[in-house]
Amino acid sequence: MVGGDTGAFIGNVHRSAIRMNDNALLVAGCFSSNTEKQNNTCNTYGINEDRNYATYEEMADSEEKREDKIDFVVIATPNYLHYPVAKLFLEKGIHVVCEKPLCFTPEEGYQLKQIAKDNGCLFGVTYTYCGYAMVREARELVKGGVIGKVNMVVGEYLQDGKLRSKLSGSTARGWRQDPTKSGPSGTTADVGVHIDSVISYVTGATIDSLQCSLEYIEGSELDCGARIMAQYTGGISGILYASQASAGFDNFLRILFIGDRGTLEFVQEDSNYLKLMKINEPIQILSRGKSYMTKEALHDVRLPAGHPEGLVEAFANIYRDFANAIFDKLEGKEIIEEAYGYPTIDMGIKGVEFFTLCIKSNNNKSTSEHI
Protein backbone atom coordinates (compact mmCIF):
# COMPACT_ATOMS: atom_id res chain seq x y z
CA MET A 1 0.00 0.00 0.00
CA VAL A 2 1.11 3.55 -0.74
CA GLY A 3 -0.57 6.16 1.50
CA GLY A 4 -3.14 5.22 4.09
CA ASP A 5 -1.19 5.41 7.35
CA THR A 6 -3.14 4.48 10.48
CA GLY A 7 -4.29 8.10 10.94
CA ALA A 8 -5.58 8.46 7.38
CA PHE A 9 -9.20 8.03 6.38
CA ILE A 10 -9.61 5.70 3.45
CA GLY A 11 -6.51 3.51 3.80
CA ASN A 12 -8.07 1.87 6.86
CA VAL A 13 -11.26 1.13 4.93
CA HIS A 14 -9.22 -0.49 2.14
CA ARG A 15 -7.38 -2.70 4.63
CA SER A 16 -10.58 -3.75 6.42
CA ALA A 17 -12.18 -4.58 3.07
CA ILE A 18 -9.21 -6.62 1.86
CA ARG A 19 -9.17 -8.58 5.12
CA MET A 20 -12.85 -9.48 4.63
CA ASN A 21 -11.97 -11.51 1.55
CA ASP A 22 -9.18 -13.54 3.19
CA ASN A 23 -7.34 -13.77 -0.11
CA ALA A 24 -4.65 -11.08 0.11
CA LEU A 25 -2.09 -10.03 2.71
CA LEU A 26 -0.59 -6.63 3.41
CA VAL A 27 3.16 -7.23 3.22
CA ALA A 28 4.81 -3.97 2.14
CA GLY A 29 4.15 -0.28 2.33
CA CYS A 30 5.05 3.34 2.08
CA PHE A 31 2.08 4.57 4.10
CA SER A 32 3.36 8.06 4.79
CA SER A 33 6.25 10.39 4.01
CA ASN A 34 6.38 11.12 7.76
CA THR A 35 8.83 8.66 9.36
CA GLU A 36 6.98 8.35 12.66
CA LYS A 37 3.63 7.67 10.97
CA GLN A 38 5.33 5.26 8.58
CA ASN A 39 6.95 3.26 11.37
CA ASN A 40 3.80 3.25 13.51
CA THR A 41 1.78 1.88 10.62
CA CYS A 42 4.37 -0.80 9.84
CA ASN A 43 4.41 -1.81 13.52
CA THR A 44 0.63 -1.98 13.66
CA TYR A 45 0.44 -4.26 10.62
CA GLY A 46 3.56 -6.32 11.30
CA ILE A 47 5.33 -5.22 8.13
CA ASN A 48 8.86 -6.66 7.99
CA GLU A 49 11.69 -4.16 8.32
CA ASP A 50 12.92 -4.87 4.77
CA ARG A 51 9.53 -3.93 3.35
CA ASN A 52 9.09 -0.75 5.38
CA TYR A 53 9.80 1.78 2.63
CA ALA A 54 10.59 5.47 3.16
CA THR A 55 9.50 6.41 -0.37
CA TYR A 56 7.20 4.88 -2.94
CA GLU A 57 10.06 4.98 -5.46
CA GLU A 58 12.19 2.81 -3.19
CA MET A 59 9.24 0.46 -2.71
CA ALA A 60 8.63 0.04 -6.45
CA ASP A 61 12.33 -0.52 -7.18
CA SER A 62 12.85 -2.97 -4.37
CA GLU A 63 9.60 -4.93 -4.86
CA GLU A 64 10.27 -5.38 -8.57
CA LYS A 65 13.49 -7.22 -7.75
CA ARG A 66 12.05 -9.60 -5.14
CA GLU A 67 11.10 -13.15 -6.00
CA ASP A 68 8.07 -12.78 -3.74
CA LYS A 69 7.21 -9.31 -5.09
CA ILE A 70 3.78 -7.88 -4.35
CA ASP A 71 1.00 -8.85 -6.78
CA PHE A 72 -0.70 -5.47 -6.60
CA VAL A 73 -0.35 -2.07 -5.00
CA VAL A 74 -3.13 0.01 -3.44
CA ILE A 75 -2.80 3.78 -3.90
CA ALA A 76 -4.56 5.70 -1.12
CA THR A 77 -2.63 8.97 -1.19
CA PRO A 78 -3.70 12.56 -1.83
CA ASN A 79 -4.77 12.99 -5.47
CA TYR A 80 -1.56 14.49 -6.90
CA LEU A 81 0.33 11.27 -6.20
CA HIS A 82 -2.07 8.93 -8.00
CA TYR A 83 -0.54 9.43 -11.43
CA PRO A 84 3.19 9.20 -10.60
CA VAL A 85 2.74 6.30 -8.17
CA ALA A 86 0.49 4.33 -10.55
CA LYS A 87 2.83 4.98 -13.48
CA LEU A 88 5.88 3.76 -11.58
CA PHE A 89 4.31 0.53 -10.32
CA LEU A 90 2.78 -0.25 -13.72
CA GLU A 91 6.21 0.19 -15.31
CA LYS A 92 7.47 -2.44 -12.86
CA GLY A 93 4.73 -4.82 -13.99
CA ILE A 94 2.72 -4.56 -10.75
CA HIS A 95 -1.10 -4.45 -10.88
CA VAL A 96 -2.72 -1.31 -9.44
CA VAL A 97 -5.82 -0.42 -7.43
CA CYS A 98 -6.05 3.37 -7.27
CA GLU A 99 -8.28 5.80 -5.47
CA LYS A 100 -10.37 8.34 -7.35
CA PRO A 101 -9.98 10.78 -8.99
CA LEU A 102 -7.62 8.73 -11.16
CA CYS A 103 -5.41 11.72 -12.09
CA PHE A 104 -5.57 15.41 -13.01
CA THR A 105 -5.98 15.35 -16.82
CA PRO A 106 -7.49 12.96 -19.36
CA GLU A 107 -4.07 12.77 -21.08
CA GLU A 108 -2.53 11.36 -17.90
CA GLY A 109 -5.34 8.79 -17.82
CA TYR A 110 -4.75 7.74 -21.43
CA GLN A 111 -1.04 7.35 -20.65
CA LEU A 112 -1.72 5.17 -17.61
CA LYS A 113 -4.03 2.98 -19.70
CA GLN A 114 -1.33 2.53 -22.33
CA ILE A 115 1.38 1.77 -19.74
CA ALA A 116 -0.91 -0.78 -18.06
CA LYS A 117 -1.54 -2.43 -21.43
CA ASP A 118 2.15 -2.46 -22.40
CA ASN A 119 3.07 -4.13 -19.11
CA GLY A 120 0.16 -6.56 -18.95
CA CYS A 121 -1.22 -4.95 -15.78
CA LEU A 122 -4.73 -4.88 -14.39
CA PHE A 123 -6.06 -1.57 -13.07
CA GLY A 124 -8.96 -1.06 -10.68
CA VAL A 125 -10.36 2.29 -9.52
CA THR A 126 -12.19 2.42 -6.21
CA TYR A 127 -15.47 4.03 -7.16
CA THR A 128 -16.86 2.71 -3.91
CA TYR A 129 -20.55 2.85 -4.70
CA CYS A 130 -20.15 0.44 -7.63
CA GLY A 131 -19.43 -2.20 -5.00
CA TYR A 132 -22.76 -1.91 -3.15
CA ALA A 133 -24.94 -4.99 -3.60
CA MET A 134 -28.06 -2.88 -4.29
CA VAL A 135 -26.26 -0.80 -6.94
CA ARG A 136 -25.31 -4.07 -8.57
CA GLU A 137 -28.92 -5.22 -8.23
CA ALA A 138 -30.05 -2.01 -9.94
CA ARG A 139 -27.62 -2.76 -12.76
CA GLU A 140 -29.07 -6.24 -13.22
CA LEU A 141 -32.66 -4.98 -13.09
CA VAL A 142 -31.92 -2.30 -15.69
CA LYS A 143 -30.19 -4.91 -17.88
CA GLY A 144 -33.21 -7.20 -17.47
CA GLY A 145 -35.59 -4.46 -18.67
CA VAL A 146 -37.53 -4.23 -15.40
CA ILE A 147 -37.92 -0.44 -15.69
CA GLY A 148 -37.95 -0.44 -19.50
CA LYS A 149 -35.76 1.97 -21.40
CA VAL A 150 -33.94 4.41 -19.09
CA ASN A 151 -34.60 7.95 -20.34
CA MET A 152 -33.57 10.05 -17.39
CA VAL A 153 -31.20 9.93 -14.43
CA VAL A 154 -31.25 12.31 -11.48
CA GLY A 155 -28.22 12.15 -9.21
CA GLU A 156 -27.35 14.11 -6.08
CA TYR A 157 -24.36 13.85 -3.78
CA LEU A 158 -24.71 16.29 -0.90
CA GLN A 159 -22.37 16.84 2.04
CA ASP A 160 -21.72 19.88 4.24
CA GLY A 161 -17.99 19.52 5.05
CA LYS A 162 -16.85 22.63 3.20
CA LEU A 163 -19.56 24.70 4.85
CA ARG A 164 -18.58 23.42 8.30
CA SER A 165 -14.91 24.22 7.61
CA LYS A 166 -15.83 27.74 6.52
CA LEU A 167 -18.06 28.40 9.51
CA SER A 168 -15.47 27.15 11.99
CA GLY A 169 -12.57 28.85 10.18
CA SER A 170 -10.86 25.43 10.11
CA THR A 171 -8.22 24.47 7.56
CA ALA A 172 -8.46 20.83 8.58
CA ARG A 173 -9.25 19.74 5.03
CA GLY A 174 -5.50 20.08 4.34
CA TRP A 175 -4.40 18.91 0.89
CA ARG A 176 -7.98 18.95 -0.42
CA GLN A 177 -7.91 22.78 -0.36
CA ASP A 178 -4.67 22.98 -2.33
CA PRO A 179 -5.09 22.74 -6.14
CA THR A 180 -1.50 21.50 -6.56
CA LYS A 181 -2.38 18.47 -4.41
CA SER A 182 -6.12 18.10 -4.96
CA GLY A 183 -6.13 18.84 -8.69
CA PRO A 184 -8.00 21.34 -10.86
CA SER A 185 -11.41 20.42 -9.46
CA GLY A 186 -12.76 20.36 -5.90
CA THR A 187 -16.15 18.84 -5.17
CA THR A 188 -16.76 17.78 -8.78
CA ALA A 189 -13.70 15.51 -8.72
CA ASP A 190 -14.18 14.49 -5.10
CA VAL A 191 -17.84 13.43 -5.07
CA GLY A 192 -19.29 14.40 -8.47
CA VAL A 193 -17.35 11.55 -10.07
CA HIS A 194 -19.16 9.12 -7.77
CA ILE A 195 -22.56 10.18 -9.19
CA ASP A 196 -21.34 9.81 -12.77
CA SER A 197 -19.63 6.48 -12.10
CA VAL A 198 -22.76 4.90 -10.57
CA ILE A 199 -24.90 6.16 -13.47
CA SER A 200 -22.47 4.65 -15.98
CA TYR A 201 -22.05 1.44 -14.00
CA VAL A 202 -25.80 0.84 -13.78
CA THR A 203 -26.88 1.98 -17.26
CA GLY A 204 -23.73 1.30 -19.31
CA ALA A 205 -24.05 4.84 -20.71
CA THR A 206 -21.33 7.49 -20.72
CA ILE A 207 -21.48 11.27 -21.06
CA ASP A 208 -21.82 12.72 -24.56
CA SER A 209 -22.07 16.37 -23.55
CA LEU A 210 -22.86 18.48 -20.53
CA GLN A 211 -23.57 21.97 -19.29
CA CYS A 212 -22.21 22.86 -15.89
CA SER A 213 -22.18 25.76 -13.44
CA LEU A 214 -19.72 25.43 -10.62
CA GLU A 215 -20.29 26.86 -7.14
CA TYR A 216 -17.60 28.43 -4.98
CA ILE A 217 -17.27 29.38 -1.34
CA GLU A 218 -15.68 32.80 -0.97
CA GLY A 219 -11.94 32.54 -0.54
CA SER A 220 -11.63 29.05 -2.03
CA GLU A 221 -10.00 28.40 -5.39
CA LEU A 222 -11.69 25.04 -5.82
CA ASP A 223 -15.38 24.45 -6.48
CA CYS A 224 -17.64 23.37 -3.65
CA GLY A 225 -20.50 22.35 -5.93
CA ALA A 226 -21.51 21.54 -9.48
CA ARG A 227 -24.94 21.89 -11.14
CA ILE A 228 -24.91 19.77 -14.25
CA MET A 229 -27.27 19.01 -17.12
CA ALA A 230 -25.85 16.01 -18.95
CA GLN A 231 -26.58 14.06 -22.09
CA TYR A 232 -25.54 10.42 -21.81
CA THR A 233 -25.18 7.95 -24.67
CA GLY A 234 -28.28 5.97 -25.57
CA GLY A 235 -30.53 9.03 -25.29
CA ILE A 236 -30.36 9.25 -21.50
CA SER A 237 -30.63 12.76 -20.04
CA GLY A 238 -29.24 13.59 -16.64
CA ILE A 239 -29.55 16.20 -13.93
CA LEU A 240 -26.70 15.98 -11.44
CA TYR A 241 -25.95 18.06 -8.37
CA ALA A 242 -22.79 17.58 -6.33
CA SER A 243 -22.26 19.79 -3.29
CA GLN A 244 -20.07 19.81 -0.21
CA ALA A 245 -21.71 22.97 1.11
CA SER A 246 -25.28 21.73 1.62
CA ALA A 247 -26.19 22.42 5.23
CA GLY A 248 -27.04 19.41 7.34
CA PHE A 249 -26.13 16.68 4.87
CA ASP A 250 -23.73 13.88 5.84
CA ASN A 251 -23.15 11.68 2.81
CA PHE A 252 -26.37 11.89 0.84
CA LEU A 253 -25.88 10.13 -2.48
CA ARG A 254 -29.17 9.46 -4.23
CA ILE A 255 -29.71 8.35 -7.79
CA LEU A 256 -32.98 7.91 -9.66
CA PHE A 257 -33.01 5.79 -12.79
CA ILE A 258 -36.20 6.72 -14.62
CA GLY A 259 -37.34 4.33 -17.34
CA ASP A 260 -40.41 4.20 -19.55
CA ARG A 261 -41.91 1.41 -17.40
CA GLY A 262 -40.63 2.19 -13.96
CA THR A 263 -38.09 3.91 -11.74
CA LEU A 264 -35.36 2.70 -9.40
CA GLU A 265 -34.05 4.79 -6.52
CA PHE A 266 -30.76 4.11 -4.70
CA VAL A 267 -29.94 6.10 -1.57
CA GLN A 268 -26.47 5.47 -0.15
CA GLU A 269 -27.44 6.26 3.45
CA ASP A 270 -30.13 3.56 3.15
CA SER A 271 -28.06 1.27 0.98
CA ASN A 272 -29.54 -2.04 2.07
CA TYR A 273 -32.68 -1.23 0.12
CA LEU A 274 -33.63 -0.27 -3.41
CA LYS A 275 -36.95 1.35 -4.26
CA LEU A 276 -38.81 0.13 -7.35
CA MET A 277 -41.75 2.17 -8.60
CA LYS A 278 -43.92 1.08 -11.52
CA ILE A 279 -47.00 2.53 -13.15
CA ASN A 280 -50.21 1.34 -11.43
CA GLU A 281 -48.34 -0.96 -9.08
CA PRO A 282 -47.62 -0.64 -5.38
CA ILE A 283 -44.18 0.80 -4.59
CA GLN A 284 -41.74 -2.00 -3.74
CA ILE A 285 -38.85 -1.75 -1.33
CA LEU A 286 -36.36 -4.43 -2.33
CA SER A 287 -34.32 -5.73 0.56
CA ARG A 288 -30.66 -6.73 0.22
CA GLY A 289 -30.15 -10.43 0.80
CA LYS A 290 -33.63 -11.70 -0.07
CA SER A 291 -33.95 -14.63 -2.46
CA TYR A 292 -35.85 -12.55 -5.04
CA MET A 293 -32.67 -10.66 -5.87
CA THR A 294 -30.90 -11.51 -9.12
CA LYS A 295 -28.33 -14.27 -8.70
CA GLU A 296 -25.61 -11.92 -10.00
CA ALA A 297 -26.23 -9.37 -7.23
CA LEU A 298 -26.87 -12.01 -4.54
CA HIS A 299 -23.25 -12.97 -5.15
CA ASP A 300 -22.32 -9.55 -3.70
CA VAL A 301 -24.32 -10.00 -0.50
CA ARG A 302 -22.21 -10.85 2.54
CA LEU A 303 -24.70 -10.73 5.44
CA PRO A 304 -28.32 -11.92 5.73
CA ALA A 305 -31.10 -9.38 5.08
CA GLY A 306 -31.62 -7.08 8.04
CA HIS A 307 -27.97 -7.10 9.10
CA PRO A 308 -26.79 -3.85 7.52
CA GLU A 309 -23.88 -3.77 5.09
CA GLY A 310 -22.16 -0.60 3.94
CA LEU A 311 -18.98 1.07 2.80
CA VAL A 312 -16.51 -1.63 3.86
CA GLU A 313 -18.48 -4.45 2.23
CA ALA A 314 -18.71 -2.38 -0.96
CA PHE A 315 -14.93 -1.97 -1.04
CA ALA A 316 -14.59 -5.68 -0.25
CA ASN A 317 -16.71 -6.58 -3.30
CA ILE A 318 -14.47 -4.45 -5.52
CA TYR A 319 -11.37 -6.13 -4.05
CA ARG A 320 -12.87 -9.61 -4.44
CA ASP A 321 -13.54 -8.91 -8.13
CA PHE A 322 -10.05 -7.52 -8.62
CA ALA A 323 -8.42 -10.49 -6.88
CA ASN A 324 -10.44 -12.87 -9.07
CA ALA A 325 -8.98 -11.18 -12.14
CA ILE A 326 -5.45 -11.49 -10.71
CA PHE A 327 -5.93 -15.19 -9.89
CA ASP A 328 -7.21 -15.85 -13.43
CA LYS A 329 -4.30 -13.92 -14.89
CA LEU A 330 -1.85 -15.95 -12.81
CA GLU A 331 -3.42 -19.04 -14.39
CA GLY A 332 -2.71 -17.56 -17.81
CA LYS A 333 -6.34 -16.84 -18.71
CA GLU A 334 -7.32 -14.05 -21.10
CA ILE A 335 -8.71 -11.18 -19.00
CA ILE A 336 -11.52 -8.83 -19.95
CA GLU A 337 -11.48 -6.54 -16.94
CA GLU A 338 -15.07 -5.25 -17.30
CA ALA A 339 -16.37 -8.82 -16.95
CA TYR A 340 -15.12 -9.05 -13.34
CA GLY A 341 -17.32 -6.24 -12.03
CA TYR A 342 -14.73 -3.86 -10.57
CA PRO A 343 -14.50 -0.30 -11.94
CA THR A 344 -11.70 -0.31 -14.50
CA ILE A 345 -9.23 2.31 -15.69
CA ASP A 346 -11.69 3.25 -18.43
CA MET A 347 -14.14 4.35 -15.73
CA GLY A 348 -11.31 6.19 -14.00
CA ILE A 349 -10.56 8.07 -17.21
CA LYS A 350 -14.26 8.86 -17.74
CA GLY A 351 -14.30 10.46 -14.29
CA VAL A 352 -11.38 12.71 -15.21
CA GLU A 353 -13.05 13.60 -18.53
CA PHE A 354 -16.22 14.35 -16.55
CA PHE A 355 -14.71 16.98 -14.24
CA THR A 356 -12.59 18.38 -17.11
CA LEU A 357 -15.79 18.92 -19.14
CA CYS A 358 -17.48 20.51 -16.12
CA ILE A 359 -14.66 23.04 -15.70
CA LYS A 360 -14.63 23.74 -19.45
CA SER A 361 -18.38 24.29 -19.61
CA ASN A 362 -18.38 26.50 -16.52
CA ASN A 363 -15.51 28.63 -17.83
CA ASN A 364 -16.92 28.97 -21.34
CA LYS A 365 -20.52 29.27 -20.14
CA SER A 366 -21.37 26.73 -22.83
CA THR A 367 -22.15 23.10 -23.50
CA SER A 368 -18.99 20.97 -23.52
CA GLU A 369 -19.02 18.08 -25.93
CA HIS A 370 -15.33 17.28 -26.24
CA ILE A 371 -12.29 17.29 -23.99
Ligand X SMILES: NC(=O)c1ccc[n+]([C@@H]2O[C@H](COP(=O)([O-])OP(=O)(O)OC[C@H]3O[C@@H](n4cnc5c(N)ncnc54)[C@H](O)[C@@H]3O)[C@@H](O)[C@H]2O)c1
Binder among 52, 64, 71, 78 for ligand X (CB under 6 A): 78
Identify which of residues 9 and 292 has a Cβ nearer to ligand X in the complex: 9
Identify which of residues 78 and 204 has a Cβ nearer to ligand X in the complex: 78
Collect all residues with Cβ–Cβ distance below 8 Å to 192 and sequence separation of at least 6: 157, 185, 226, 228, 240, 242, 354, 355, 358
Contact between 305 and ligand X by CB under 6 A: the answer reads no
Torsions phi, psi of 318, nearest 5? -65, -45
Binder among 8, 97, 205, 222 for ligand X (CB under 6 A): 8
Amino acid at 72: F
Identify which of residues 263 and 300 has a Cβ nearer to ligand X in the complex: 300
- State the Cα–Cα distance between residues 347 and 337, nearest whole angstrom: 11
Q: How far is CA 94 from CA 74, 86, 97, in A?
A: 10, 9, 10
Task: Give the Cβ contact number of residue 277 at 10 Å.
Answer: 15
Identify which of residues 81 and 349 has a Cβ nearer to ligand X in the complex: 81
- State the Cα–Cα distance between residues 211 and 357, nearest whole angstrom: 8
**Contact 51/28 with Cβ under 8 angstroms?**
yes
Number of residues that bind ligand X (CB under 6 A): 24
- State the Cα–Cα distance between residues 183 and 190, nearest whole angstrom: 10
Per-residue string for binding with ligand X, 193-222, x by CB under 6 A?
------------------------------
Picking from 51, 85, 87, the residue whose alpha carbon sits closest to that of residue 66 is 51
Binder among 3, 109, 186, 262 for ligand X (CB under 6 A): 3
Contact between 342 and ligand X by CB under 6 A: the answer reads no
Contact between 77 and ligand X by CB under 6 A: the answer reads yes
Of residues 52-71, those binding ligand X (CB under 6 A) = 56
Identify which of residues 185 and 246 has a Cβ nearer to ligand X in the complex: 185
Binding site for ligand X (CB under 6 A): 2-5, 8-11, 30-33, 37, 56, 76-79, 81, 99-100, 126, 128, 190
